[in-house]
Chains A and B, each alone.
Chain A
Amino acid sequence: MILNLFRFFAVRNLMSSPVRTLLTLLGVALGIALFSGVSAINASTLSSFKESVDAVAGKSSLTVSAGDAGFSEQVEEKLKKIPGVRTTAPMIESKAYYRQKDGPEAGKTSLITVFGIDLLKEQSVRTYQTEGGEVIEDPLEFLNQPDSIILTKEFAKLHDLKVNDAIELASAAGSRTFVVRGLLSPTGPAKAYGGAVAIMDIDGARVNFGKEGKVDRIDLVLQDSAPGQPEVKAQVAARAREILGEGYQVEAPETQSDHLQHMVGAFQGMLSFLSALALMIGMVLVANSVSVAITERRQEIGTLRALGATRAKIFFLILGETLVMGSAAGLLGALLGNSVAHALVGQVSQSLASQSGMPIQVRELHYSLREILHAMLLGTSVSVAAAFWPARKAMNIPPMAALKARGADLSGIIGESQWMKVIPWLGAAMLVYLFVNKLTLNLSEPMSPALQALQPALGVIGSAMVAPWVIHYTLTPLLHLLKNSHGSNILVLRMALENLLRAPSRTLSNVLSLLVGLMLVIIVSVINISFKNSVSAWTTKAISVGDMALSSNGRVVAFQVQPLHESVLELIKKTPGVDLSNKRPIVVMRYMKVNYQGDPLVIKALDPTSDESGYPYIDALDRTALEAGHELFSDAHDSVLISENLAKRYHKKTGEVLELDTPTGRHPFAIAATIRDFASPNGVIYLNRNALKKYWKDNLVTIFFLAAKPGVNPVDLQNTFNSTLGKTHGIVTILNTELVGDLINVIDQSFSFNKAVQLAALLVGLIGLLNTMLVSIFERTREFGMLRAVGMDRRQLSKMVLWECLAQGSLGVLAAVVLGTYLSWLWVTVNLAQALGWVIHFSFPTSSILQVFFTGVGVALIAGILPVLRASQLTIRKALEHE
């Protein structure tokens, strides 16, 4: 009985409006696909990183490290003596770049993490295996030859390498040839970082990567380190901290994964939020469709009620119908989600790697049956949730409705008129709250994750809620303006606008579909443009001291390169055409990460230069660059310059002291100035490189900035470097213009994923608009017939419908521009600053607004084509016969 009723009521409805069903299904499926795809990418990224950390940690329970500079190998002896430590394993961890020599990808570089390990100790910590045979054929030969390297089979296969082949990697002395002496199966550390790892003996790694006498980390295997012995671990960790003092991190492997989660959490949150918005648009679509279907079937529902169907039965019939459609949308979304995840995972992991400075590579995208079921469940849940309110309205339709013929009415889509009065006020309150919150914001106080997640949602929901005001307060003055104008066209336009005002719910429904999608476009564009403008303006200023940058091969713009021995400076100085004057000195910089109060900060250590240069690479905020530079390089005391985000985050200001933990202990540095620098979301510290050598025992150089002598063309000097140091040492020379271009590319790459989200959201918006437009024409068939009967011709009717479409599109654009700009301003100045630590300047999205205008109006026109055609083909008799 129930099944028959369901077949009669629900299935028949779905089948009788195939276009609407298909559009709704597609819209929800797209939302689900984005949401599921993003969730799968986020989960896979973190689990891949965790797997990498675990693979590298092996059997060790604790890891001792001290930032990029590493620390003395002597520390190992101290650690060995701690009661509870069974064995120790030192490691050098270096990021090298492999440049493909031949083949279609010749010249392309790929990151490879080189582990320098003590092969005479490793067995007790990590496992290295090959399929049969030995990893290293001859350990004695391997150990005694600094060019020995072992690759993973995966990496070797990808780059067509085999045992005894030579490969070139960036080393501290420039590019160097290594010999592949073994291939690893994907077990143990060979599983880490998607297999892009290489193994060297620790002494070879020290020599090649400028870490003589040092280690980057020491792994501790504990006695009785089986699970259930946490107290041993805690005791050893406490003792290690006590012995080593400040400047060392003693961490369990799981803590490293937590760090990554912390670092990329905000970025992932943003992705999830954007994809959730697409899902939200899908929900609006479902609510629309169901409401429309109910209004169309008012008589049918009334008849069922008159025949004895209870309210609950009607309620569940409608929910059941939505459930079927939602499940189908969920399944389609799940399948599409898999494609979305595969298509975007590379971009997302690259963005995350750029942000965190960690070699994140997703080895395996987890999109299994579990994810498919989740997506289906999600599709079903959001559809049912969206249909809940319209279904409640449907169950209240009285049996009398069967006897009373009346036109369909979309008022149920948004709500009752009483609500319509309250909702904009509520939305305005939300937006005002966000504004007040922005004014009272203290960046140095971390915002709770719940509030961080809530704020953007509040912004979008609030904006949607104030949309009725935007419609009312735009259309009313416009009508007022047109009041005294005459002519048939004006009359048609006025009628169109009056129609929109007369049915605010219907208008709002159409505008909302566009509003959310277009707002997304504006928000993402503003963040992108603001980022690009702030960072490129700063970079241009910072590198203006020279004409070009020299470093080893790698991602120079992100400082992800193998640092070089400082002796390379002498070779650079000897190159003809280099300006060696005090006015445009060679700026020698070591870029590295250090730990400050548990957060990773960036140190940029610079060689002292003369005051004559004016220190243009220092973007000082509270002093002149000259004063800041002079004090930084003064011999009187150790000084630092700190970035504004660091100053805000850690309550520091010029004149105070910043205590830094170094491998030689904790040292105070006077803060000489606050500067602008975008290298790290946590903060950047400028340091005299002499201090780095003294306290961190590090004498490597990441990058050299230099200028061509007056009269020498920088391009010619670049060519000279390419043919000399480029060939002998593999050093790359990048002109300032190229550097800024690369930077913009990196930022664009990071946002490319968001653009995909934008596109999908727009598509869902378009489908939504098309759906509601079609329905609104259908429901007004009788009205159109009346208009035609009282003298309106086909052309005028078509024009009126077209005006309505255009006006609604323009309203969507207007609301999106106003509200989107406001929200993105809040996002740039509040959320980004809070979540990522960036203090960037808001850039007005002129080009995006134009883009949004054309997109919005275009989408409205496309959505209006069918309704216009339909309206123009209506005959008076047919229209009046309707219903």
Chain B
Amino acid sequence: MNETSSVKTKSTPHFAAATLAILAAASGAWATELTPKEVMSRSESSRKVSEITATCKLTQTTKGKDAKLKSFQWWRKIADNSLDYRTLVRFTQPAAVKGEGILIVEKDKAENEVLLYLPAFKKIRRVENQQQTGKFMGSEFSYSDIATPHLDDYTYSGGKQEPCPGKTHSGVACYLIEAKPASPKIQERTGYQRTMNWVRSDNFMVAQVEYFDLENSLIKRLEASDIRKVDEAHSKWMAYRTEMHQLKTGNSSLIEFVTAKVNGGVPESTFTQQNLSRSE
């Protein structure tokens, strides 16, 4: 599957927006020889797509209530350091949020900048670091879940292999890796004491993540599915469906790619405050 066909021919491509794997690792090395950090390094590499332009939808399911749907445009581009991403989200539906935009600029030392544009006030607002554990777009994802985790921001342990959880990954072995924030600042930004990551041994994409809060209670579970190879040349992968389950309330949020275009050229000016505040 080449990148063009992946964008245009599929009506329901999926997207793993959250913390972990988006693109597949190209390496065919066998995992048994890998340390936990090497597994995560390959995972990072497999999802590292330089540019993405996409249209997405977010379905929020709240127990006892009707599901709520939001649509948005998505632009993402890697910075010159080949590490940090810039991401712009602009909502198109429903009317109450139309025109709202979120710009996430990843930075070193866990100092991600998150800006929110509110068209009703024609104003850009900054989401403070401490607030980034809060809900992204009212979903079960937090702002920090949306940002890409950097390999060196965490320490890793574990690495044993077991069958990947979930039907969509049946028959595939997964590495089970525990990741802990490398500094209190990262812990503060993410709001997690640790995560348990199931990383597919074939393409190094994350199949499932479990999140533990600062009291070490399991609070959320992320399930990635519909994982597709989007860049044949560089062996990059994307999960087109990412669902986050809030275990305490039973609520969940599903982010799905409707269309996605990889490496199609995203100008630098996309990620400026000026563009963020542009009303559409």
Residues of A within 8 A of B (CB): 87, 118, 120-124, 132-134, 136-141, 143-146, 203-204, 207
Please give the distance in Å from A201's CB to the nearest CB on chain B. Answer: 9
Given the complex of chains A and B, what is the CA–CA distance between A243 and B216 in angstroms?
42
User: CB-CB contacts of B107-138 with A at 8 A, as 1s and 0s?
Assistant: 00000000010111101011110110111011
Q: Contacting B118 at CB < 8 Å: which of A122, A123, A133, A143? A: A143
Please give the distance in Å from A498's CB to the nearest CB on chain B. Answer: 87
A120-B127, A140-B100, A203-B123 known, 4 other contacts, Cβ within 8 Å: A120-B116, A122-B131, A123-B131, A123-B134
Greatest chain B CB density within 10 A among A87, A132, A139, A204 is at A139
Residues in A whose Cβ lies below 8 Å from that of B118: 143-144, 203
B68 within 8 A of A: yes
B249 in contact with A133 (CB, 8 Å): yes
Closest B residue to A136 using CB positions = B138
| Contact residues of B between 179 and 225, Cβ < 8 Å to A | none
A145 in contact with B116 (CB, 8 Å): no
Residues in A whose Cβ lies below 8 Å from that of B1: none
B97 within 8 A of A: yes
B91 within 8 A of A: yes
Closest B residue to A121 using CB positions = B128
Please give the distance in Å from B127's CB to the nearest CB on chain A. Answer: 5
Please give the distance in Å from A172's CB to the nearest CB on chain B. Answer: 15
Please give the distance in Å from A372's CB to the nearest CB on chain B. Answer: 41
Interface pairs (27), CB distance under 8 Å: A118-B125, A121-B126, A121-B130, A122-B131, A123-B130, A123-B131, A123-B133, A123-B134, A124-B130, A124-B131, A132-B249, A134-B135, A136-B138, A137-B138, A140-B70, A140-B91, A140-B138, A141-B96, A141-B97, A141-B138, A143-B118, A144-B118, A145-B96, A145-B120, A203-B120, A203-B123, A207-B121
Greatest chain B CB density within 10 A among A123, A134, A140 is at A140
- Are A124 and B96 CB-contacts (below 8 A) given A133-B249, A140-B137, A144-B120? no
Residues in B whose Cβ lies below 8 Å from that of A140: 70, 91, 96-97, 100, 137-138
Residues in A whose Cβ lies below 8 Å from that of B97: 138, 140-141, 144
The 6 closest A-B pairs by CB, nearest first: A124-B130, A138-B138, A203-B121, A141-B96, A120-B127, A140-B97
B96 in contact with A144 (CB, 8 Å): yes
- Are A120 and B131 CB-contacts (below 8 A) given A139-B138, A141-B96? yes
User: CB-CB contacts of B68-90 with A at 8 A, as 1s and 0s?
Assistant: 10100000000000000000000
Given the complex of chains A and B, what is the CA–CA distance between A123 and B142 in angstroms?
14
Greatest chain A CB density within 10 A among B62, B128, B135 is at B128
Residues in A whose Cβ lies below 8 Å from that of B135: 134, 139
Interface size class on chain B is 20 to 34
Residues in A whose Cβ lies below 8 Å from that of B127: 120
Closest B residue to A137 using CB positions = B138
- Are A120 and B96 CB-contacts (below 8 A) given A138-B68, A143-B116, A144-B120? no
Given the complex of chains A and B, what is the CA–CA distance between A133 and B120 in angstroms?
26
A120 in contact with B138 (CB, 8 Å): no
Q: Contacting A144 at CB < 8 Å: which of B70, B119, B128, B130? A: B119
Given the complex of chains A and B, what is the CA–CA distance between A589 and B138 in angstroms?
43
Given the complex of chains A and B, what is the CA–CA distance between A615 and B123 in angstroms?
44
- Are A87 and B128 CB-contacts (below 8 A) given A120-B116, A145-B96? yes
Residues in A whose Cβ lies below 8 Å from that of B62: 137
Given the complex of chains A and B, what is the CA–CA distance between A138 and B70 in angstroms?
11
B128 in contact with A124 (CB, 8 Å): yes
Given the complex of chains A and B, what is the CA–CA distance between A500 and B188 in angstroms?
85
Please give the distance in Å from A428's CB to the nearest CB on chain B. Answer: 69
Please give the distance in Å from A665's CB to the nearest CB on chain B. Answer: 27
B249 in contact with A87 (CB, 8 Å): no
Given the complex of chains A and B, what is the CA–CA distance between A372 and B195 in angstroms?
55
- Are A146 and B121 CB-contacts (below 8 A) given A120-B116, A132-B249? yes
Please give the distance in Å from A85's CB to the nearest CB on chain B. Answer: 12
Given the complex of chains A and B, what is the CA–CA distance between A139 and B137 in angstroms?
7
Given the complex of chains A and B, what is the CA–CA distance between A140 and B120 in angstroms?
11
Given the complex of chains A and B, what is the CA–CA distance between A120 and B133 in angstroms?
11
Residues in A whose Cβ lies below 8 Å from that of B130: 87, 121, 123-124
User: CB-CB contacts of B45-75 with A at 8 A, as 1s and 0s?
Assistant: 0000000000000000010000010100000
Residues in A whose Cβ lies below 8 Å from that of B131: 120-124
Please give the distance in Å from B126's CB to the nearest CB on chain A. Answer: 7
Please give the distance in Å from A132's CB to the nearest CB on chain B. Answer: 7
Closest B residue to A138 using CB positions = B138
Closest B residue to A124 using CB positions = B130
Residues in A whose Cβ lies below 8 Å from that of B119: 144
Residues in A whose Cβ lies below 8 Å from that of B120: 144-146, 203
Closest B residue to A206 using CB positions = B121
Residues in B whose Cβ lies below 8 Å from that of A123: 128, 130-131, 133-134
Closest A residue to B97 using CB positions = A140
Given the complex of chains A and B, what is the CA–CA distance between A123 and B70 in angstroms?
25
| Contact residues of B between 126 and 155, Cβ < 8 Å to A | 126-128, 130-131, 133-135, 137-138
Closest A residue to B135 using CB positions = A139
Residues in B whose Cβ lies below 8 Å from that of A120: 116, 125-128, 131, 134
Closest A residue to B126 using CB positions = A120
Please give the distance in Å from B131's CB to the nearest CB on chain A. Answer: 5
Residues in B whose Cβ lies below 8 Å from that of A122: 131
Given the complex of chains A and B, what is the CA–CA distance between A864 and B125 in angstroms?
79
Greatest chain B CB density within 10 A among A122, A133, A136, A141 is at A141
Closest B residue to A142 using CB positions = B138
Given the complex of chains A and B, what is the CA–CA distance between A143 and B118 in angstroms?
7
Greatest chain A CB density within 10 A among B62, B118, B126 is at B118
Please give the distance in Å from B220's CB to the nearest CB on chain A. Answer: 14
Please give the distance in Å from A176's CB to the nearest CB on chain B. Answer: 15
Residues in B whose Cβ lies below 8 Å from that of A136: 138
Closest B residue to A88 using CB positions = B128
Residues in B whose Cβ lies below 8 Å from that of A118: 125
Given the complex of chains A and B, what is the CA–CA distance between A664 and B126 in angstroms?
26
Closest B residue to A141 using CB positions = B96
Closest B residue to A207 using CB positions = B121
Please give the distance in Å from A570's CB to the nearest CB on chain B. Answer: 25
Given the complex of chains A and B, what is the CA–CA distance between A133 and B250 in angstroms?
11
| Contact residues of B between 252 and 280, Cβ < 8 Å to A | none
Given the complex of chains A and B, what is the CA–CA distance between A124 and B189 in angstroms?
11
Please give the distance in Å from B144's CB to the nearest CB on chain A. Answer: 13
Please give the distance in Å from A341's CB to the nearest CB on chain B. Answer: 42
Please give the distance in Å from A58's CB to the nearest CB on chain B. Answer: 13
Given the complex of chains A and B, what is the CA–CA distance between A120 and B124 in angstroms?
11
User: CB-CB contacts of B9-40 with A at 8 A, as 1s and 0s?
Assistant: 00000000000000000000000000000000
Closest B residue to A202 using CB positions = B125
Given the complex of chains A and B, what is the CA–CA distance between A320 and B260 in angstroms?
93
Closest B residue to A118 using CB positions = B125
Residues in B whose Cβ lies below 8 Å from that of A132: 249
| Contact residues of B between 87 and 108, Cβ < 8 Å to A | 91, 96-97, 100
Greatest chain A CB density within 10 A among B70, B120, B126, B127 is at B120
Please give the distance in Å from A794's CB to the nearest CB on chain B. Answer: 88
Residues in A whose Cβ lies below 8 Å from that of B91: 140
Please give the distance in Å from A119's CB to the nearest CB on chain B. Answer: 8
User: CB-CB contacts of B156-197 with A at 8 A, as 1s and 0s?
Assistant: 000000000000000000000000000000000000000000
Closest A residue to B65 using CB positions = A137
Please give the distance in Å from B279's CB to the nearest CB on chain A. Answer: 12
Closest A residue to B70 using CB positions = A140
Residues in B whose Cβ lies below 8 Å from that of A143: 100, 116, 118, 125
Please give the distance in Å from B17's CB to the nearest CB on chain A. Answer: 15
Residues in A whose Cβ lies below 8 Å from that of B96: 138, 140-141, 144-145
Greatest chain A CB density within 10 A among B70, B91, B127, B130 is at B130
Greatest chain B CB density within 10 A among A121, A144, A204, A207 is at A144
Closest B residue to A147 using CB positions = B120
Closest B residue to A139 using CB positions = B138
Please give the distance in Å from B136's CB to the nearest CB on chain A. Answer: 9
Given the complex of chains A and B, what is the CA–CA distance between A145 and B134 in angstroms?
19
Residues in B whose Cβ lies below 8 Å from that of A121: 126, 128, 130-131
